[in-house]
Amino acid sequence: MIAPAAIGTEMRPAVNLQPVAAPGVEPLLAIEGLRVRIGTGTRPVIDGLDLEIRRGEVVALVGESGSGKSLTALSVLRLLPPSAAITGGSVHFGGDDVGAMRPAALNALRGGRIGMIFQQPLAMLDPTCRVGDQVAESLRIHRGLSREAALERVVALFREVGIPAPETRLRCYAHELSGGMAQRVMIAAALSADPDLLIADEPTTALDVTVQAQILRLLDEQRRKRDMAVLLITHDLAVVAALSERVAVMYAGRLVEEGPTREVLNAPRHPYTKALIRCSLLQRDETGALISIPGGGASARDIASGCRFQPRCSVAATSEHAHACCSAEPSLQCCSGQHKARCWNVNAAPAMPVVEHRA
């Protein structure tokens, strides 16, 4: 381990990392040292993010609002809002550098090789366009099909994603659909070009609980059938547990913990992950109040020095590394196998079981 004093705030943790994928197997998506800035003069909102996704793998990206999850997804597609810009790092998809792609290649990537679904499915459908035509758009662009052929294909897709009476649904407008139905349409659009990667940005947040379950099952079914990798962005740990193989936890623009889902959820190493799991279990403290993490969600912009989670951390003040916690940011360190955490106390703190398996 490097002495805390030697670590500058600009340190790139990528240097310390072993690639997740087995040697020789190229990851499908490789994000290295990604930095995204909003506006000018401020600190980046995503700061040196590394993430790899292999073919057919489901990776969950977890974190609270403002931690940079959605920006990460949009960076992969190079579709950041005008105020934000990638200022460092690289994104490789299937071996191609996304940052160096020309517009035509980018359009082929978006929707062709990477599909994406969103939190607000109804807002994602053009109100003046029949939903069938909207899904067909993607097929016409990426597969070069005629309108008739594309619509025929859409019927098959609609049937696959569980939309009843697909022939008549085709001619519906967005306002005639329910939220769950609209999400199915979006999934059909995202799957239409047989992408290698599906980015699901909080796909069930806006939906009713029963519909949530249906949508999740549909996603799981489709990705198994197509051997498609999924980047699942969510803050719902139940969804993470149900669907993903690997989980990456983000806090204030940094990955703070990463590893196989089972290991991370059963034996979290980072105090933030631990607290997150406790909160999601709706456990109560001694006074009977629901457990919460003190303080507000920090954006990467207002971190001064030291560990980004330190101000809200329950361990920092009392640990033997208390000084380090305040003065320097830890790197992402291996704790066991592929499980890594960004905490000075990784090895000091015992892997505490916070999840009792519910039947």
168 binds other proteins (CB under 8 A): yes
- For strands 114-117 and 229-234, give the pairing: unpaired
Smallest separation (angstroms) from other proteins to the CB of 210: 4
Smallest separation (angstroms) from other proteins to the CB of 27: 22
Smallest separation (angstroms) from other proteins to the CB of 164: 5
Q: 38, 53, 125, 332: which one contacts other proteins (CB under 8 A)?
A: 125
Smallest separation (angstroms) from other proteins to the CB of 314: 26
Residue placing its CB nearer to other proteins in the complex, 177 or 349? 177
Smallest separation (angstroms) from other proteins to the CB of 103: 8
Token reading at 325: 């916690």
Token reading at 225: 């059938």
Distance separating alpha carbons of residues 207 and 70, to the nearest angstrom: 18
Window 38-97: residues binding other proteins (CB under 8 A): 77, 79, 82
Q: Can you give the C-alpha Rg of the chain in angstroms?
A: 21
Residue placing its CB nearer to other proteins in the complex, 261 or 331? 261
Pick the stretch among 24-32, 46-54, 181-189, 252-260 that binds other proteins (CB under 8 A).
181-189
Q: By C-alpha distance, which of 276, 301, 303, 279 is closest to 290?
A: 279
Q: 171, 224, 225, 323: which one contacts other proteins (CB under 8 A)?
A: 171
Residues 6+ apart with CB under 8 A from 107: 141
DSSP state of 33: E
Q: 80, 84, 141, 149: which one contacts other proteins (CB under 8 A)?
A: 141
Pick the stretch among 123-131, 271-279, 288-296, 310-318 that binds other proteins (CB under 8 A).
123-131
Window 271-330: residues binding other proteins (CB under 8 A): none
Pick the stretch among 18-26, 34-42, 137-145, 296-304 that binds other proteins (CB under 8 A).
137-145
Amino acid identity at 260:
P
Smallest separation (angstroms) from other proteins to the CB of 82: 8
Window 339-358: residues binding other proteins (CB under 8 A): 357
3-state secondary structure of 249: strand
Phi, psi for residue 130 in degrees, rounded to 5: -65, 145
Q: In the chain, which ranges are continuous DSSP H helix?
A: 69-76, 103-109, 131-143, 147-160, 166-169, 179-191, 209-226, 237-243, 261-266, 271-280, 322-327
Window 193-232: residues binding other proteins (CB under 8 A): 209-211, 213-214, 216-217
DSSP state letters, 170-224 = TT-BGGGS-HHHHHHHHHHHHHTT--SEEEEESTTTTS-HHHHHHHHHHHHHHHH
Distance separating alpha carbons of residues 108 and 322, to the nearest angstrom: 50
Residue placing its CB nearer to other proteins in the complex, 142 or 342? 142
Residue placing its CB nearer to other proteins in the complex, 134 or 299? 134
Q: 7, 21, 108, 281: which one contacts other proteins (CB under 8 A)?
A: 108
178-192: burial string, b at 16+ Cβ within 10 Å, e else: ebbbbbbbbbbbbbb
| Cα dist from 286 to 289, 290, 314, 358, whole Å | 8, 10, 16, 22
Size of the site for other proteins (CB under 8 A): 50
Q: 47, 50, 57, 137: which one contacts other proteins (CB under 8 A)?
A: 137
189 binds other proteins (CB under 8 A): yes
Q: 14, 242, 322, 334: which one contacts other proteins (CB under 8 A)?
A: 242
DSSP state of 109: H
Burial of 121 (0-12, 13-18, 19+ CB in 10 A): buried
Amino acid identity at 255:
L
Q: Provide the binding-site residues for other proteins, judged by CB under 8 A.
A: 77, 79, 82, 103, 106-112, 116, 118, 120, 123-129, 137-138, 141-142, 162, 164-165, 168-169, 171-172, 176, 178, 180-181, 186, 189, 209-211, 213-214, 216-217, 241-242, 262, 265, 357
